[in-house]
Structure 1
Amino acid sequence: MRGILEEKSSRMDAMELQIAQLTAKVIQLESVENQNKILMEEIARLNEMRKSKDFNRANEIMDQPKAIGQMPTSCADLIKMGHNLNGLYSVMGIKSVESVYCDFTINPSDPGFETWIGHVDVKSSPTYFFVRRGEYFNGTRTPILFDIETLNEGAAYDKTTGIFTAPVTGTYFFTLSGSAAFPMTYYQSRHFFHIGLFKNEEVMAYAFPDEADVYYQYEAFSLQSTVELMKGDNISIQIVSMSVGVSLVTGLYTQFNGFLLQEDVSQSLNW
């Protein structure tokens, strides 16, 4: 009996030792978990401090406006110049002025700090014209003189030379519509009228009305062209060739007009 009791007591001691060991391991694991939690909280606190420091640095920059030596190209440039109110701003793009929305309440590196809106239609020299020819004309290989000016904003078209001179670098649109007068023919024959729009000495577009076996007939024509022009480039309308007796109908029947679509502001400002 005594031996049995001693054996049970020994087993109890062993179990208590195991329980004590397991308890120690649990306590150790809880300690590690608490340490990990404390570490994660510290990391989060340091990240917040870093963000706050960056934001404060941005605020310091805004509080100390300075010249950047050029036109602003972004919200970041606007911050440097001292802007701190959220809103739409105009900045310089590659060729044109652009509109952006700046949110100065967030960090410059965060998404949404700058949102691109679109292009701003800025023209340093508004340019558009609408002209007509008042008198009979049948000259070839020479600019047609459209001597009746209905519109000539910017005075880029010269009615004394028949030449449009681009005041700024950019994209332009031109259109010509008119009529050619074909005389009566006594035999089977074909009359033609060949007219073109020229950029300097290079043809950009042609119109080619023609008729066969006519009896004093008008033939309508039109041409359009969108062209890139450098400042100082010339545009003119010239009759390339035509049959004998054919002529350009004048008055309200023939009109030439054009306008500046988009200016390359970077060239105008020597950007």
Structure 2
Amino acid sequence: MPTSCEDLWRIGHTLSGFYSVKGAKMVESVYCDFSKLPNEAGFQKWIGYDDVKSAPVYFYVQRNSAFNTANVPIPFQVSRLNIGNAMDLSTGKFTAPVPGTYFFSFTGHAQFPTSSSILSLEVGLYLNGNFIGCGFVEEYNTLYAQESPLTLQSTLSLQKGDQIWLQIKLISTGVSLFDNYAIFQGTHFTG
């Protein structure tokens, strides 16, 4: 990769303009004036650093057992992918390593007991403790071990250090966020 306008000129670039070059530690943006020679003033003007995302951040985690505790972050036990190590399985919290736009997706299954009442499960997405949105399911006249899926997706603009997590916001007695890793993997969180 070229490190200067002179490198670009030597490999045949002749059109003046903005270019990305390899700096000492980051990709830099420079303006090259190819109407001048490399030793002339104004041949290269440093503009700044390019916002090149050279460290990807994404995760895919799962639970391996049922969960039914409200108002605490949902922890995860299985990491299918955790590039950038921004997802902490034990706390269930994702911490943004850099400012940017992030996408999150959750899928889970509510498992219901036998009941003639209305039963529900609501899982919320939280940003630094603030409720963002939820996945919600409600059933009545349920049979034992009846299941219903719930989902949640969100695209958020985050700052470095912002934390994202899921937690059960509302849960009826006997209902759980179902998972049995040996036979059924139903709780997925990815971002």
- Output aligned runs, 1:240-259, within 5 Å: 240-250=169-179, 251=181, 252-258=185-191
Match of 2:150 in 1: 221
1 or 2, which has the higher helix percentage? 1
Measure, in 1, the Cα distance between the counterparts of 2:110 and 2:29.
47
Go from structure 1 to structure 2 and tell me whether the alpha carbon gap of 1:152 and 1:192 turns closer, same or farther (over 3 Å shift).
same
Q: 1:99 to 1:209 in 2, by over 3 A?
A: farther
| 3-state SS, counterpart of residue 160 of structure 1 | coil
1:128 partnered with 2:128 = no
1:122, CA displacement in angstroms? Answer: 2.3
For the 8 Å contact 1:164–1:236, the answer to whether it is kept is: yes
Residues 8-87 of structure 1 mapped to structure 2, 5 A cutoff: 84=9, 85-86=13-14
SS of the equivalent of 1:213 reads strand
Q: Which residue of 2 aligns with 1:182?
A: 112
Overall identity of the aligned pairs, in %: 46
User: Are positions 1:194 and 2:122 aligned together?
Assistant: yes
Greater relative contact order (Cα < 8 A, sep 6+): 2
Pair 225,153 (structure 1): closer, same or farther in 2 beyond 3 Å:
same
Distance (whole Å) between structure 2 residues aligned to residue 236 and residue 133 of structure 1: 14
* SS of alignment partner, residue 161 of structure 1: coil
Decide which of 72, 77, 81 is 1:151's aligned counterpart: 81
Number of matched pairs: 160
Residue 170 of structure 2: SS of its match in structure 1?
strand
Identify which of 168, 187, 194 aligns with 2:98.
Answer: 168
**What is the CA distance between 1:168 and its match in structure 2?**
0.8
Structure 1 unaligned spans of 5+: 1-77, 92-96, 107-119, 259-271
RMSD: 2.8
TM-score where L is the length of structure 2:
0.74
Please report the TM-score for the alignment, with normalisation by the length of structure 1: 0.53
Contact 1:196 1:237 in 2 (8 A): yes
> Residues 147 and 101 of structure 1: is their aligned pair in 2 closer, same or farther, counting only changes over 3 Å?
same
Alignment deviations for residues 73-121 of structure 1 (CA, whole Å, 9 cap, x no partner): xxxxx87x89643367228xxxxx8999978359xxxxxxxxxxxxx88
